[in-house]
Amino acid sequence: MMWRRKRMLEELDKDIREHIARETQDNIERGMSPEKAHYAAMRKFGNVTRVKEETREVWSVVWVEQILADIRLGLRMLLKSPGFAFVSILTLALGIGANTAVFSLVDCLVLRPLPIEHPERVVFLASSWKGGQASTAFSYADFREIGEQTPTIFSEMTAIRLYQADGVSRDRNSQPMLGSYVAGNFFDALGIKPALGRLILPSEGAITGADPVLVVSYSYWKSRFSGDPNIVGEKVTVNGLPVTVIGIAPEGFRGLSSLVDMQGYMPLAMAPTLKDAPADFLTARDAAYFVVIARLRPDIDMQQAQSALQVVAERLAQKRPKLAGILTIRAVHLGPAGLTINPGHPEMLPLISTLFLGLAASVLVLACMNIANLLLVRADSREREMATRSALGATRSRLIGHLLTESILLALLGGVGGVLLGLGASQALSSIPLHTSLPVVLDFRFDWRVFAYAFGVALLTGILVGVTPALRAARGDVNRILHEGGRTSTARDHRLRSALVVAQLGGSLMLLVVAGLFVRSLEHVQHSDLGFDPNGVLNVSLDPHEAGYDEQQAREFFRNLLQSARSLPGVQSASLAASVPMGYYDLGTALRIEGYQVPAVEREPYAAYNSVSPGYFETMRIHLLRGREFLDSDAENSPPVAIVSQAMADRYWHGMDPIGRNFSSDDEPNHSRQVVGVVKNIRAESFEAETSPFFYVPFAQSYQPVATLQVRTATAPETMVREVTGLIHSLEPVMPVFDVQPMTVALETVNGFLLFQFAAGLAACLGILGLVLAVVGVYGVISYAASQRTHEIGIRMALGAEPMQVLRMIFGQGFIIIVAGVLIGLVAAAGMARVLQNFLIGVRALDPITYSGASFLLGLVALAACYIPAFRAMRVDPMTALRHE
């Protein structure tokens, strides 16, 4: 279009000159003098400039120019009333900012696909048997078999042993690395290309110990090796053994989840050499260590994959008679959050995402109502301008277009502000301390999806906000307005504005109730009885294998460490544990309990457990109910013993005395343990779970390579950090330590309070934002109404009305609006109760305290907002008011 226009216009000048020359020539032939002939030709041709202008117009795209003109005019109008523009843009920026920030969370958690080739076709496998929890763990033998039986379904299938903590040393400086052991085709299957060097090859990792190579993640390379390219090809030590760094994974690739950075990758068959994996872990059918990832062939859908996997499951089950007919294997799409199978609440993440997006959207709606209110007021005062333009020939659609352009312009400017605010907010969100040494990444970065969302929201906002005032203004009756010229605000307008504010108050109350419920839920979990006392305890985690120790050396080290820790001044007690409550590591096993008949409908007994040293129950202040604690005499070769929780005793021994009873577990199939004590239940995994069966075994009898030293201190635990880590390094200078923090801080993890804090904080922010917007709305409407009534108030006062009566009159108007708003808000909040209940612990979604508290707060603040215009109205000077009209 553009090039055609250019070409056509290029020779217009020449054409016109040519035309006039011909006409002149004709005239001369008719006998005119050349000068006269030229003059006549010019006159006959007409206005050359106008002709050129009109010809150019033929080629110009009219609507583009009109929009440009509208935008220019809109900008001028905004500049003319900077106060209005500033308030509107700020309001919209707050609303859009809240939405953008929340959306960036949702984007990170739910929407943004993993940076792998065709992520939509990549699945992981989950197995489950009737009554049992779904599991992503498969044995290597099963993995091979599934792969061999489904070549027509999956083009690639690969296995990975996830999240192993390894110590990586370079120049005798050992630091933990979260690594994985992967099948040779792992990177090929995901379609990953190296940033530097090469990745692990399909040929590597078949023979135990044969390929000591390491690929590290981009961010680990940047942080641990400061991005030194020479690291490729260099030898480092992993758990004390030499390994060659062969390459760097591409930037942004964090393994199977976008939330945790997988820092290192080594071939599967290196696990027995580098890590404590048993030598037969690639052949034993019971050693379910592996997550299986597969890529669907392009022409295969999930349905076909599921039925093919079911056939495989039946075949696999034949080898394990216990599982025949009840084993199922299914493929699950690999989303951005990684391997999330949460059989109880599969849709939790999308659900809470939707909830918060909805809350943020409500905030924006409140903001929009404020703007709509302002625009309505302005539409009144601009009715005259519109009528004049219409009288001068502007069509109705041009007027509507112009007003809409103005509001969209406003919204887009608000959108820019919103994106800036949202950037700040999500920056703040992603820097929340997670209190873990795990490389958890909250990458709430703004990608094109977030920008598209912000732009879409802003555009929609502009249209929604502007459409009513635009239609109303353009509908105006030209004659009436130009003749009357005066007040045009009607009772109907006022009712519309009041209705907007009622809705605003309702929305705001709903947000406040939701915020209140989340805050009360957080309060509940923070004050719930955990069964142990987290105050005054310092945690230090360490893994002697990362410093190159073997099991005997590590046991020796732990023994020495405990002894010297107990004699540190200021330490009341010290103990070791394999895991800490609400931590990221835990242990669990299936049990066989002597004398307990498993009911037919139940799966076999299962319990989480912890491996702890003597002194643990004293350090954690877990109440011993019966029997005895672990003693130093419960050593490696002494008779195996266990201490069980109250819940386990009740469940499996039904109130009989469990002391002296025996049970064995899948983790230790070769011997059984005798129960020597019963302790109070603790909350070790989550706040919601009914306290489930739990037991403890002596650390000496159930050695774990990674352990946490816990010391109960006389003073604040933070003050003992230097002494305790100093002690560790006096025993072994290169021993890496991690998660050095008080137990109270360790509870603020993703499994602990963190999500509750996060939800409560976010909901509270949105609630406060909503409250502010609603109050501004109330203030705006009441003060506008009061100013419209200045004349009337003047007359009333002149006729002898008391100032208090005036105050009551204005207040009364506000009061009705507030009561109506609160009622609507209560209904709206109650309507959300069922959804909300999913996310609340220890507080009902219809909690009366929250409802009344939120109503009271909103009512009070809104009344205060009414007070200012009411007070001003009370002070009206009758003389001024009357003269003004």
Partner 1 sequence: MSTKEECERIELLQGTLDLLILRTLLLGPAHGHAIAKAIEFNSEDVLQVEQGSLYPALHRLIQRRWISVEEGTSENNRRAKFYKLTPKGRRQLTLETRKWDKLAGAIARILRPREQEGE
Chain positions contacting partner 1, by CB under 8 A: 8, 11-12, 15-16, 18-19, 22-23, 26, 40, 44-48, 50-51, 54-55, 57-59
Rounded Cα distance, 865 and 874, in Å: 15
Which CB, 27 or 713, lies closer to partner 1? 27
> At closest approach, how far in Å is the CB of 395 from partner 1?
19
> At closest approach, how far in Å is the CB of 393 from partner 1?
18
> At closest approach, how far in Å is the CB of 46 from partner 1?
4
> At closest approach, how far in Å is the CB of 389 from partner 1?
25
Which CB, 13 or 556, lies closer to partner 1? 13
Which CB, 25 or 787, lies closer to partner 1? 25
> At closest approach, how far in Å is the CB of 17 from partner 1?
11
Which CB, 34 or 242, lies closer to partner 1? 34
99: DSSP letter:
H
In this structure, the number of other CB atoms found within 10 A of the CB of residue 452 comes to: 11
With tokens 């004590």, the residue in question is 677
Q: What are phi and psi of 858, to 5 degrees?
A: -60, -45
Rounded Cα distance, 647 and 689, in Å: 12
Rounded Cα distance, 231 and 197, in Å: 10
Contact 539, 741 (CB under 8 A): yes
Ranges of H-type helices in 431-490: 448-475, 478-484
In this structure, the number of other CB atoms found within 10 A of the CB of residue 407 comes to: 25
> At closest approach, how far in Å is the CB of 16 from partner 1?
7
Contact 110, 336 (CB under 8 A): yes
Spatial CA neighbour of 666 closest among 281, 141, 134, 287:
287
Which CB, 46 or 655, lies closer to partner 1? 46
Contact 205, 512 (CB under 8 A): no
Q: How far is the CA of 451 from the CAs of 408, 412, 415, 448, 870, in angstroms?
A: 17, 12, 10, 5, 43
Amino acid of residue 461: T
What is the number of alpha carbons within 13 Å of residue 520 lying toward its C-beta? 21
Q: Report helix, strand or coil for 842.
A: coil
Rounded Cα distance, 163 and 438, in Å: 10
Which CB, 29 or 690, lies closer to partner 1? 29
> At closest approach, how far in Å is the CB of 396 from partner 1?
24
617: DSSP letter:
H
> At closest approach, how far in Å is the CB of 65 from partner 1?
16
With tokens 């951005």, the residue in question is 336
> At closest approach, how far in Å is the CB of 15 from partner 1?
6
> At closest approach, how far in Å is the CB of 252 from partner 1?
49
Spatial CA neighbour of 672 closest among 695, 655, 645, 654:
695
Spatial CA neighbour of 432 closest among 841, 93, 762:
762
Ranges of H-type helices in 626-753: 646-653, 721-731, 743-746
What count of residues does the chain have? 885
Which CB, 15 or 602, lies closer to partner 1? 15
> At closest approach, how far in Å is the CB of 361 from partner 1?
45
Which CB, 10 or 885, lies closer to partner 1? 10
Rounded Cα distance, 182 and 291, in Å: 10
Rounded Cα distance, 868 and 514, in Å: 29
Which CB, 45 or 856, lies closer to partner 1? 45
> At closest approach, how far in Å is the CB of 34 from partner 1?
16
Which CB, 41 or 408, lies closer to partner 1? 41
Q: In which region does residue 197 sit, left (phi positive, over 0), alpha (psi from -120 to 50) or beta (all else)?
A: left
Which CB, 64 or 799, lies closer to partner 1? 64
Which CB, 11 or 251, lies closer to partner 1? 11
> At closest approach, how far in Å is the CB of 55 from partner 1?
5
Which CB, 48 or 635, lies closer to partner 1? 48
Contact 569, 99 (CB under 8 A): no
> At closest approach, how far in Å is the CB of 61 from partner 1?
11
Q: How far is the CA of 576 from the CAs of 23, 563, 636, 711, in angstroms?
A: 109, 11, 15, 9
| Bridge pairing between strands 641-645 and 668-679 | parallel
Contact 155, 293 (CB under 8 A): no
> At closest approach, how far in Å is the CB of 37 from partner 1?
11
Which CB, 3 or 448, lies closer to partner 1? 3
> At closest approach, how far in Å is the CB of 11 from partner 1?
7
Cα distance from N-terminal residue to C-terminal residue, the chain: 57
Rounded Cα distance, 768 and 195, in Å: 45
In this structure, the number of other CB atoms found within 10 A of the CB of residue 680 comes to: 17
> At closest approach, how far in Å is the CB of 70 from partner 1?
24
Which CB, 44 or 315, lies closer to partner 1? 44
Rounded Cα distance, 690 and 682, in Å: 10
Rounded Cα distance, 789 and 456, in Å: 40
Rounded Cα distance, 401 and 408, in Å: 10
Contact 104, 446 (CB under 8 A): yes
Which CB, 11 or 551, lies closer to partner 1? 11
Q: How far is the CA of 716 from the CAs of 437, 616, 749, 762, in angstroms?
A: 22, 19, 20, 30
Which CB, 18 or 657, lies closer to partner 1? 18
